[in-house]
Structure 1
Amino acid sequence: MGLIGSLLTLPVTGPARAGFWVVDQVVAAAEAELYDEGRIVAELRALAAEADAGRITEEEHAAAEEVLLERLMEARARRAHSQETP
């Protein structure tokens, strides 16, 4: 489709493209927050404090810690992958 076709279909395709762009931005922001290593480490510390204070059981601590450690490994893998690709 050439320039004329793109211009003629812009009123229909423009809002759809903008909607996809917004969704992509929201997903990127959510992933950045989910895989923020500093945030994950802070959550691990808070979890340890909860366990030390006796507010959660050892089983709850172990289960939550496992999830957080998996997220931390994924975050580090994503960071390493992003550093490899220019």
Structure 2
Amino acid sequence: MNQRAMIAATALTVMSMGLLAVPAAAQEKEKCFGISKAGQNDCASAFGTHSCAGQSKVDMDKTEWKYVAKGTCKDMKGLSADEAKKMKM
């Protein structure tokens, strides 16, 4: 195979891999509370203990959340935002 054909084949492969990833990225997401490991939360704590991703201190803290595919939170034993707020009260 000549160099030009090899470059074209590589470029085609890379482009097609990018197209396959689009549906997963476009999938609807929801916040799921109580499933993240320490340091693996997606954003600020629900109750203001910190304001950034990756700052949770405890595994499975009910005030910390991660984005998950819509409809999968309950399968992971997680809580919705409303459920997490009720538990804090």
Asked if Structure 1 and Structure 2 have the same fold, meaning a TM-score greater than 0.5 normalized by the shorter chain, the answer is no
* TM bucket normalised to smaller: 0.3 to 0.5
The alignment's TM-score, normalised by the length of structure 2, stands at 0.36
The alignment's TM-score, normalised by the length of structure 1, stands at 0.37
Point out the structure with max Rg over C-alpha.
Answer: 1
